[in-house]
A and B are shown apart, each in its own frame.
Chain A
Amino acid sequence: MSLRLRLLPYTVEGGPVQMAQDESLLEAAVQGQASLRFYQWSEPTLSLGYFQPVAMRQQLPAASTLPYVRRPTGGAAIVHHHELTYAFALPPRLAFRQTSWICLFHQLLAEVVAPVFAPGQLHLVACGQERKLGEILCFLHHSAGDLLLQDNKIAGSAQRKHRGALLQHGSILLRRSPYAPQLPGIFDLAGREFSTPTALAEQLARRFAQQLHAELYPDTWTTAEQQRIQQLLAEKYTQPAWNDKR
């Protein structure tokens, strides 16, 4: 087992900090460092896909007044509220090893929650089965590789590629948010809170490392990374030039 996968601390922070930390993860991957982390958002926040116009917020009446941040990744908007977010970044040679990291991670999530649900209730959207139930929200786009539970999308993921390295982050819906009331979470669909965000994170981390045949080890940000995160926060993710760029 030669690959080492560092597991960074579980954090609860605002959107700009989380996006700065994720981008820092990608930069570390370019240098050869594989990383994984899980987090939650300190306040309900809307994240926009890299190419989404900021004016789209007005088409989401329940979420239009939320703080928002633009992601470095593609895809559609997400209301981050009662959810668990994951992010991993992989160096170039590892990133090319798998054709669909989104399918892989969603499959791991399916395996983690499968014991709670009856057989046949969970499935990954196959190519050709894509559906768009709304324009703006990620969780209303059923794309290939998305995980559906009782026909509701419960995990949405997006990627950024940089110099061959890959950043993938995604949202796992736990409970319905009043800011996106049309989207039930896993606990809603189960009828009970069968786990906690941190317990789910631990299970997913273990399974992800097994899948990669990697040694998972807890770690913290280096001093240089902390400085870079502060720079990205100040110069990018809190700036209208980034968040309102379209």
Chain B
Amino acid sequence: MTHYLLSVIHDWDALDFDSPETQQSFADTEAFNKDLQGSGHWLFAGGLLHPDSSTVVDGTKAEPIISDGPYVETKEQLGGFWVIEAADLDEALAIAGRASGACRHPVEVRPFQGVVD
């Protein structure tokens, strides 16, 4: 078993929350989440608020420095993510394919270190 981070990265400003398509994608994602919990692959998941609401803390110096986020200034930002458990990459990719279909965005699949049993 390997744990994978499934991240959804998209252009926040291109997203129209009120459109019927976006509302449908939220409903589909919710249904997908229920499935994932039922199949035992679910570890954690969540959708994030707009990157404008993020704050960066740099605690590497004596005094932590706090600044307005996001950390990386790009149009495409993390929108939400899943943490799943899968037998191998093929299973993770199959799940990610369904996740991507439900949320209407490409999904990046990345393994966690150290949780392979």
A and B: interacting chains: no
A residues near B (Cβ < 8 Å) are: none
B residues near A (Cβ < 8 Å) are: none
